[in-house]
Amino acid sequence: MNDKMLFLFDVDGTLIDTETHQIPLSTITALQQLHKQGHLLGISTGRSLPSLKNGGFASLIDWDFFLCNNGQAIFNKKQEILHLACIPQASVEKCMQVAHAQQNPILIIHGEGEYLTAAPNELVYQALDFFKELVPEVKPYDGQPVIMMIAYGPLQYDYASYHEIDGIHIIPGLSTYADIVLKDYHNHLIDF
């Protein structure tokens, strides 16, 4: 009988204590013990790989893989791309039009990184503070494939203008942001 098991961990509200916003030492110790016992450990999160790196989560232990962006990006232990599921180009462009009309930047997440399409505003700073993240690079969208985007709006905002765009699904967050992901992606099978 093979006793090796697979353990997947979310970051927010699972690895991170919701009150202290820190990873408890007991959690790190438990992860290290599981790894020493030969179990496979992975992160499964809505966060991007750059977010995991910036937050120190990617180097917390020797992870076996990373399921990022709600499963739309999968990386091996060397952080090499195994799978990407991208949002249709037309949907990306329509989201950018909505964000521009609202005078908000949008965060573009692609296979190798992320950036804001315009200078950050107060909504962006609030969301970054919520996640304890640094301000991403600011540059114009250059047409590369997009895994996921983050839109910004006030707390309790309904993101109605985004809901009208084909090919995407909106997941409002706990702060001043919403994840924009590939519509119905959870119905796809991943073969890698």
Write out the DSSP string of the chain: -----EEEE-IIIIIS-TTT-S--HHHHHHHHHHHHTT-EEEEE-SS-HHHHHHTT-TTSS--SEEEEGGGTEEEETT--EEEE-PBPHHHHHHHHHHHHHTT---EEEETTEEEESS---HHHHHHHHHHT-PPPPB----S--BSEEEEE--TT---HHHHTSTTEEEEE-SSSEEEEEETTGGGS----
Does pLDDT of 1 surpass 70? no
Question: What domains can be seen in the chain, in order of their start residue?
Answer: 6-84 (3.40.50.1000), 89-187 (3.30.1240.10)
Ranges 15-29, 60-74, 88-102: which has the least confidence: 15-29
The pTM is what? 0.78
Query: Residue 2: pLDDT band by 50, 70, 90 thresholds?
Result: low
Mean pLDDT of 136-163: 93
Q: Which amino acid is at 68?
A: C
Mean pLDDT of 41-60: 88
pLDDT digits (tens, 9 = 90+) for 115-136: 999 999 999 999 998 877 889 9
pLDDT digits (tens, 9 = 90+) for 98-117: 999 999 999 999 877 899 99
Mean pLDDT of 29-48: 93
Rounded distance between C-alpha atoms, residue 176 and residue 190, angstroms: 31
Greater confidence (188 vs 81) lies with: 81
> What is the chain's mean pLDDT, rounded?
89
Q: Residue 188's pLDDT is what?
A: 42
81-84 vs 113-116, strand pairing mode: unpaired
Does pLDDT of 190 surpass 70? no
- Per-residue tokens: 143: 């047409």
